[in-house]
Amino acid sequence: KFSHQHRLGFGSSNPAGKIPLGLKRKGLRIVVTGGAGFVGSHLVDRLIARGDSVIVVDNFFTGRKENVMHHFGNPNFELIRHDVVEPLLLEVDQIYHLACPASPVHYKFNPTNVVGTLNMLGLAKRVGARFLLTSTSEVYGDPLQHPQKETYWGNVNPIGVRSCYDEGKRTAETLTMDYHRGAGVEVRIARIFNTYGPRMCIDDGRVVSNFVAQALRKEPLTVYGDGKQTRSFQYVSDLVEGLMRLMEGEHVGPFNLGNPGEFTMLELAEVVQETIDPNAKIEFRPNTEDDPHKRKPDISRAKEQLGWEPKVSLRKGLPLMVSDFRQRIFGDHKEGSN
């Protein structure tokens, strides 16, 4: 089944990291867990375009086959329906570990972050693959440092409603570093800040997807709390570029990957109004428990060590996801402005 292993001419004892930089390579065998999801599917597009062999492992919890369907029939692409909470045997060079119930409505009560990460680290150890964890800015909790640097340890409630996600990712980072130090696994850690773009889940409750879908459906934009809390929104292509640079680079991290442009939720609502419907109404709703008051990445480390910084501003990026959302919400039938 994995005959490309022979074509590539290096076995599992030669991890990706051992390929001299600059050497023209034939393509890597890469597994992307959560590759049918929002970020994962964009990453898969780039890896396939680069000439790598990609295996997507996804249980379709929040991901969709439609996100990767355009690769069906490509011999360099495989899709496996599998829950990473169960062990998995594959022979690969790199593991991008994205599988995770990533939004508040989905992530509760799910052991994916801990057990799934452990399994993928076990896989990386067995085959000598390089492992990249997609952690999150949520590890900083409701931060007392602003903007957040990677050296900040965070301010997280261990028993709150968000803890399964925050603490799950913190544990995933711990496991990753333990496998690195204890078993010599080559690891990379990205701390991803709020990201948006085409293929985002429409109804998973995140603020950008909520506002865009609401504006398109002519519903009021639901601002939680007083709307003065801030987030920094990154366009998905910038994130994918950062993830690939991190995987190919020499540094373990953790690295903040995010756009430092900081917006209050009311400002975000205004940008959505400008982009989709200036007449969209705003409706205030009670905020959720333990909602971080502000969040903005300090990306100096990624700039220095990965030569990376985001290129797409919110005003440029938002219209790029609107056409995708319009298509998915209304089908071919075009409505509204823009």
Would you call 228 helix, strand, or coil by DSSP? coil
Catalytic residue among 96, 165, 179, 235: 165
Q: Count CB-CB contacts under 10 A for residue 197.
A: 24
CB of 105 to ligand NAD, least distance (A): 11
Q: How many residues bind ligand UDP (CB under 6 A)?
A: 24
Q: Which does 62 bind (CB under 5 to 8 A by kind): ligand NAD, ligand UDP, none?
A: ligand NAD
Q: Which residues contact 252 (CB under 8 A, 6 or more apart)?
A: 180, 187, 188, 189
Site mask for ligand UDP (CB under 6 A), range 283-322, x = bound: ----xx--x-------------------------------
Site mask for ligand UDP (CB under 6 A), range 202-231, x = bound: ---xxx--x-----------xxx----x-x
Q: Are the CB atoms for 119 and 87 separated by under 8 Å?
A: yes
What are the structure tokens assigned to 230, written together?
A: 């801030």
Q: Which does 210 bind (CB under 5 to 8 A by kind): ligand NAD, ligand UDP, none?
A: ligand UDP
Question: 67-75 long-range contacts, Cβ below 8 Å, gap at least 24?
Answer: 67/36, 67/37, 67/38, 67/40, 67/41, 67/199, 68/35, 68/36, 68/41, 68/44, 71/44, 74/48
Give the CA angle between residues 54, 51, 53 to the nearest 5°.
Answer: 20
* Phi (first) and psi of residue 257, to 5 degrees: -120, 105
Site mask for ligand UDP (CB under 6 A), range 77-106, x = bound: ----------xxx--------------x--
Nearest to 135 by CA among 267, 255, 290: 255
Residue in 39, 123, 201, 306 binding ligand UDP, rule: CB under 6 A: 123
Q: Are the CB atoms for 33 and 92 separated by under 8 Å?
A: no
Residue with Cβ nearer ligand NAD (256 or 277): 256
Residue with Cβ nearer ligand NAD (97 or 180): 97
What are the structure tokens assigned to 272, written together?
A: 């959505």
165 is catalytic: yes
CB of 108 to ligand UDP, least distance (A): 13
Residue in 98, 118, 244, 318 binding ligand NAD, rule: CB under 6 A: 98
Instruction: Report in angstroms the alpha-carbon separations of 259 from 70, 138, 154, 267, 313.
Output: 29, 15, 19, 16, 8
Q: Are the CB atoms for 117 and 97 separated by under 8 Å?
A: yes
Of 100-159, binders to ligand NAD (CB under 6 A) are 100-102, 112, 116, 134, 136
Angle between helices 314-330 and 265-275 (to 10 degrees): 60
Site mask for ligand NAD (CB under 6 A), range 191-230, x = bound: -x-xx-----x-----------------------------
- Applying CB under 6 A, the residues found at the interface with ligand UDP are 87-89, 104, 118-119, 122-123, 125-126, 194, 205-207, 210, 222-224, 229, 231, 265, 287-288, 291
- Applying CB under 6 A, the residues found at the interface with ligand NAD are 33-34, 36-40, 57-63, 83-85, 98-102, 112, 116, 134, 136, 192, 194-195, 201
Catalytic residues, by residue number, are 165
